[in-house]
Structure 1
Amino acid sequence: MKTTTRSGRMCLALGDKVIDVERASGGRFPADPLAVFERWTEFVEWGRATTDGPAASAGLAGSPSPTPRQVFAIGLNYREHAEEAGLAPPESPATFTKFATSLTGPDTQLALPSAFVDWEAELVVVIGRRAEKVVAEQAWRHVAGLSAGQDFSERVVQSAGPVPQFSLGKSFPGFSPTGPVLVTADEFADPDDLAIECLVNGESVQKARTSSLVFPVAELIALLSSVCPLLPGDLIFTGTPAGVGHARTPRRYLRPGDEVVTRIEGIGQLRQTCVAG
C-alpha cells in the first residue's frame, strides 16, 4: 500500500490515480494524516481493500507525514560516510533532530541561505504504531512505511559554536523534503536492502544500499524507543551514504540553478531545484 498527501490531506496512491481518503471512506477516516496514523492498523485494513474512489485535488504531492510530533535523524550511519568524515563508525546511533518547520514535499524549490549547503540522501521511516521499549525483533510492527528524504545541511551553521549545531544547520525552510509516497514494508522484497542514490545536475554523487546501514531500521527503533516513545507519524531520517560535498577535495556545495534528485528503489524520487535564498 502507498499513501501520499495533497494540500495536507491524506491520500491513497493507487497506480496512476490518487484518491482522497476522507471522501473515499465516507468520513470513516479524516483528512488529517496525523489522525490517520493514530488509527494505522484499522486504516491499513481498509486501504488494502480499497481499489477506487474520488480523485484527490490537483496539485503537487506533499510530505507523506507533514505534521510529525518528533523528527529523529541519525548521523554517520553508513561506514563509508563516517570514514569520509575522518571518524570511526559510532558505537551507538548519533542522534539529532530536524525541526518540523523544515519539512516539505518531494518536488520543490530549495532556497539556499548561504554558499555552504550540502546534500544528504536518506531513507526515512514513518512510525505507524506507538513504540516504547520495543525489542528489535518486533520493531517493524511499529512502522507505517518507508519514504525518501533529503537531509540538506548548511555546513557553517552546523559546525558553529563550542559544540556542533546539527539540528540548526539542518533545519532551514525546505531542508527536509520527503516523499513522494509512503510505502508499506510488505511492498518490498526486503525493506532492509534498497538502492539509494543522489544526483546533482544528473551526476551520481551518492550511491549505496540501505543494507549497509551501521544501525538498521529495527535497531534504530529499539534504541530510540528505549529512551522515549515513538509516536504515530514520527519520522526517522536513517543517515546518508558517502559522497557528500563537504567531504570532497575541493569541497563542493549547491548553487542556484542546481537540481538535486534523490532516488530510492521501490519508493520513487525527490526533485529539488536550488534558488538563491
Structure 2
Amino acid sequence: MNFLCDILGNIKENLSMFRNDINVSFEFFPPKSVDYVNSNFLNSIEKLSVFHPKFISITCTANLDSIHDYTAQAIKNIPTRLNLNIAPHIIYVNSNKKKIQDLARMYWNNGIKNIIALRGDIQKNNTSTQLYASELILLLKQVADFDISVAAYPEVHPTCHNSYIDIINLKNKINCGANRAITQFFFNVDHYLRFRDRCFCVGIDKEIIPGILPITNFQQIQKFTNMTNVNLPKWICNLFSKIECDEVNISKMFGLLICLDMVNQLYKEGIRDFHFYTLNQFDIVYTLCCYLGLSVQK
C-alpha cells in the first residue's frame, strides 16, 4: 500500500495549484424509502454540501407518474439550512406537455430555478420515438426563464450511431435555450477533449462540464459502461482485475487515483468546472474534494 500513498502524495503536490480555482457540482438519486433521516441520500448531500457546490442535481427516471413524486419529495426533505442550489431532472419520455409544465411551475413557485432537461430513455413499449430534449427546453422556457443544463455524450449517445448528428442535436438544445451541457461519464480524457473541440467547431459556445463517475465497485461500472456505450480503457480493467471482490478499500483507492488523474489532465486543458456522479455515496467524492483543496464551509 505504500506505493499508493506515494502516488497520492505526488498528485496532491501537482494539485496544490488548484486551490480555490475549481467549481464542483454533485448528482444524487432520490430514495424510494420515506426514511430520509437514515438514508444515504441526505447524509451524502449534507457531507458534500461543505464544498460549496454550484448546484446539486436530483435524478428521475422514465416513469413520470411515480418517480417525479420521489424526486419532488426528496427535494422537500433537503434541509434549507444547507442553502443549496437544487436542479431536479425533468424528462420528456412517458409524459405530456401539461404534466411537464405543471411540474416545472411547481418547482419555479418553490424557488427552484435550475433544471436538468433530458429526453429520457425510450421504453420498448413506447411508440413515440420522435421526442427531443430541445422540445422539452422550449416547454420549460414557456413556464419561466429556467437555468437549464442538458446532457452531452463524448462517446456518442447509445441510440445515435453518428457522432456528427449527436453534436448537432446538442447544438439544437443550446439554440433552444440551454445554458450548459453536462457530459455522460467517461474514463478516456482524450475522448472528452476531442468532443469539446468538435463542439466548438460547429458553433457551440456554452460550457461543456465533464461528468465524472468515481469507481467504487468495478462490476457495477462494467454494467454501466455496457449500457451507455462508454469506453472502459484496458488499463483500468487490468488494474481492477488484480483486486479481490472483498477488497473494497483498495478498490476505492484506485477509483480515487483515477479521478484525481482525470481532473489533473482536464485542469491542464482549461477545465474548471466538474460534475460528480455520487451514486449517493459521499466518501470517495469527499476525499477527492479534499485533495483538490476545495475550501470547506464552516
Q: Above 0.5 in TM-score?
A: no
Which structure is higher in helix share? Answer: 2
State the TM-score bracket (shorter-chain normalisation): under 0.3
In the superposition, the TM-score normalised over structure 1's length comes to 0.26
In the superposition, the TM-score normalised over structure 2's length comes to 0.25
Structure label with greater radius of gyration: 2
